[in-house]
Amino acid sequence: MSVKKVMIVGAGQMGSGIAQVFAQSGFQVILNDVTEDALNKGKASIEKILTKDVTKGKITEEDKSKALNNLSLSGNIADAASCDLVVEAIVENMDVKTKVFQELDRVTPPHAILASNTSSLPITEIAAVTNRPEKVIGMHFMNPVPVMKLVEIIRGLQTTDETYETVAETAERLNKTSVEVNDFPGFAANRILLPMINEAIYAVYEGVASPEDIDTVMKLGMNHPMGPLQLADFIGLDTCLYIMEVLHDGLGDSKYRPCPLLRKYVKAGWLGKKSGRGFYEYT
């Protein structure tokens, strides 16, 4: 099956980024969200990034126009009835996601593949609430989506080879590099990244060094483009805590125990860049 028309459910930072790369790659894209405000913000974000790319000479004005012409907005999930692929990019909450997948299962054509951009939740469990578990898969994009080349493709227990191959081919058409990952808590990226971030937070908690010095060690000593604590602030400390809890609960190993300092910051509302304060302050 060749994918031609796609719906992205969720017009936040990830959803709008995913919609942009699909539209720029020649797919017909419907960006869906429950509120008009979210849709308008999502589209404005896409237009802003494309305009910057024109200014920098990365794309032409014609490229920008083509991408925007490929994009439409929708407040009705039933508009997925004409789509070959749906990518869900909403809040990391299993109850909310499964409700959306049940609705998508009801409104999409039988051939449609249902993908989740979840960064940690089990694809097998999401697939089980549908009548097409063989056509449910994880398609985990990295943030910011237009820049980052990687897509983790996560096979649930029931995902067929045909579904995987279609999604891998689609990722290639987006000019992304995909990796095949089996359905374990945190997949590959976050199973490796988040414990490193959590350990950096423990180093602050135990007084090993300041956040600035820990980040400097990782940038200059390990050649990381961004230190783990700055990265945690960009991801959102609430998201970091949530993923560590998924790893701890799913794998049952004490090495994944979230650092108490991470819990304290989240309880204080210090969530990182989005709240103005995390391990660093943002104006």
At the top level of CATH, which class does the domain 190-274 belong to?
mainly alpha
Q: What is the DSSP string of 156-195?
A: -TT--HHHHHHHHHHHHHTT-EEEEEES-TTTTHHHHHHH
Q: Is 80 annotated as a binding residue?
A: no
Helix intervals (H) in the chain = 13-24, 36-55, 61-69, 94-107, 123-127, 161-173, 189-205, 211-216, 228-235, 237-251, 260-268
pLDDT digits over 38-76, tens only? Answer: 999 999 999 999 999 999 999 999 999 999 999 999 999
Q: Nearest to residue 176, comparing CAs of 20, 55, 2, 11? A: 20
* CA atoms of 119 and 111, how far apart (whole Å): 25
Question: Could you say which residues of the chain have pLDDT below 50?
Answer: none
pLDDT at 108: 98
Task: List where CATH 3.40.50.720 sits in the chain.
Answer: 5-182
Please tell me the predicted confidence (pLDDT) of residue 1.
Answer: 81
11 is in an annotated binding site: yes
How many other C-beta atoms are found inside a 10 Å radius of the C-beta of residue 78? 13
Compute the distance between CA of residue 140 and CA of residue 89 in angstroms, rounded to an integer. 9
The confidence score (pLDDT) of residue 87 equals 98
140 belongs to the catalytic site: yes
- Say which CATH class 5-182 falls into: alpha beta
* Region class of 26: left (phi > 0), else alpha (psi between -120 and 50), else beta: left
Known catalytic membership, residue 119: yes
SS3 (DSSP) at 24: helix
Residue 23 annotated as lining a ligand binding site: no
From CA 131, how far away is CA 158, in angstroms rounded?
11
Task: Give the model's pLDDT for residue 272.
Answer: 97
Would you state the torsion angle of the CA atoms of residues 94, 95, 98, 102, taken in this order, to the nearest 10 degrees? 180
Which candidate in 119, 120, 178, 198 is catalytic? Answer: 119
Q: Single out the catalytic residue among 16, 32, 152, 178.
A: 152
In the residue annotation, 93 being an active-site residue is answered as: no
Tell whether residue 236 is among the known ligand binding residues.
Answer: no
Which DSSP string corresponds to 88-106? E---S-HHHHHHHHHHHHH
> Can you name the residues that pair with 154 across neighbouring β-strands?
138, 181
How high is the pLDDT of residue 125? 97
Question: Catalytic site residue 152?
Answer: yes
CATH code 1.10.1040.10 region(s) in the chain: 190-274
Using one digit for the tens of pLDDT, what is the confidence trace for 156-190?
999 999 999 999 999 999 999 999 999 999 999 99
